[in-house]
Amino acid sequence: MKLVVVSAGLSVPSSTRLLADRLAAAARRRAPAGELDLRVVELRDLAVEIAHHLTSGFPGKALAGALDAVAAADGLIVVTPVFAASYSGLFKSFFDVLDKDALAGRPVLIAATGGTARHSLVLDHALRPLFAHLRAVVVPTGVYAASEDWGAEGLPERIERAAGELVALMTGLPGTPGSSAGPGAGLPAAAPAGAAARESAAGTAPEEAGGFRVVPFEERLAALRT
């Protein structure tokens, strides 16, 4: 399995890269031994080529290699610092030059770092919609790390949970998209929609809830017509 980590940190050392490395290490622990081929794409090193690609339409050698690696990956971990309550411009620009179909159906773990916990909603109001637009399969658990989260309780557990969800999607475990068992395998089946209405139509007496008779919608509608 090919896992590509995209880190948009700008400083050295970078808390964004640190979070990316911890997520990658957790994914490696969860993956079958020896089956995870890991590559890290550091966008800081590609900033000039990304800018040239945006203006010329042609990627440089290093950027082309990174784009090819992302397109060939079985799963992605993407991590961005928060700038102006959203992902960074460098992060967005990289995915702007990526082929629009490259991530279709691909599992993606989203993560971000910031100076305050108040920016944690960036995962849901910015990152998740971006990768939904690219038709990726975003893992349920996103990971946000504020400055005070490092060394505190909660972050390691979120990292492990998110990495486990990503590896499950990549390996096609039962109950995950891409599995031969199909989505929802192993989960209790929900009652068929409209079952109560069908029973009512068949002459079955409607159930009572809390001492009140539940009137089927069809009966209420018929009463309005008379």
Per-residue pLDDT of the chain (226 residues; tens, 9 = 90+): 999 999 999 988 899 999 999 999 999 999 988 889 999 999 999 999 999 999 999 999 999 999 999 999 999 999 999 999 899 999 999 999 999 999 999 999 999 999 888 899 999 999 999 999 999 999 999 999 998 999 888 999 999 999 999 999 998 854 344 343 443 333 333 344 444 444 444 444 444 545 667 777 667 667 766 5
**What integer pLDDT is reported at residue 12 of this predicted model?**
86
Residue type, 134: L
Half-sphere exposure of 53 (CA within 13 A, CB side): 22
What gap in Å lies between CA 5 and CA 163, rounded to an integer? 12
Going by C-alpha positions, the residue among 76, 82, 75 that lies closest to residue 145 is 82
What is the predicted pLDDT for the residue at 226? 58
* pLDDT score recorded for residue 220: 67
Q: Is 179 exposed, middle or buried (0-12, 13-18, 19+ CB in 10 A)?
A: middle
At 91 the pLDDT is 97
Question: Which pLDDT value is given to residue 34?
Answer: 80
Dihedral Cα 171, 155, 15, 37, nearest 10 deg: -20
Supply the pLDDT for residue 176.
Answer: 41
Q: What is the pTM of this model?
A: 0.75
Q: What's the pLDDT at 216?
A: 73
Exposed (0-12), middle (13-18) or buried (19+): which is 6, by Cβ within 10 Å?
buried
pLDDT at 221: 67
Q: Report the amino acid identity of residue 166.
A: L
In angstroms, the Cα distances linking 104 to 6, 14, 18 are: 17, 29, 27
What is residue 183's predicted lDDT score, i.e. its pLDDT?
38
CA distance from start to end of the chain: 65
The verdict on whether omega for the bond into residue 129 sits within 30 degrees of 0, i.e. cis, is: no
Instruction: Quote the CA–CA distance of 195 and 204 in Å, as a whole number.
Output: 11
* Rounded Cα gap, residues 145 and 99, in angstroms: 29
Calpha distance 7→92 (Å, rounded): 12
- Taking the CB of residue 114, how many other CB atoms lie within 10 A of it? 21
